[in-house]
Amino acid sequence: MSHPLRPLVRTPVCVIEHCTACDVLHLTLGPVTLRLEITAARRLASALQEALARLDAPAQHPAGRPSDAPMPN
């Protein structure tokens, strides 16, 4: 089975491609490539945004919140 990758983003930090056969994102950071389901990629993006917001204003954000639950497999 062929796994064609559709390029989405290429920056000095990462490359993000969409595998059209598997419907997953390939996130490449240097020598490491993560294969993420689309839902997991969206959750990761949200978590990164929240973490960066907490770095920008640490006194305004508590360390945890009730929605900090493990992701289902």
Say whether pTM exceeds 0.75: no
In a domain, 68, yes or no: no
Q: How far apart are CA 50 and CA 43, in angstroms?
A: 11
Domains identified in the chain, total number = 1
Q: Is residue 24 part of a domain?
A: yes
- Range(s) of the domain holding residue 14: 5-58
For residue 66, is it within any domain? no
Residue 70 lies in a domain: no
Question: Residue 3 — pLDDT band, cuts 50, 70, 90?
Answer: confident
Residue 8 confidence (pLDDT): 98
Residue 9 lies in a domain: yes
> Is position 69 within any domain?
no
Contact yes or no for 62/50 (Cβ under 8 A): no
Tokens of residue 36, six digits: 């993420």
Give the burial class of 56: count Cβ atoms within 10 A of its Cβ; 0-12 exposed, 13-18 middle, 19 or more buried: exposed
Is 18 contained in some domain? yes
* Diameter of the chain measured on Cα atoms: 51
Asked if residue 12 is part of any domain, the answer here is: yes
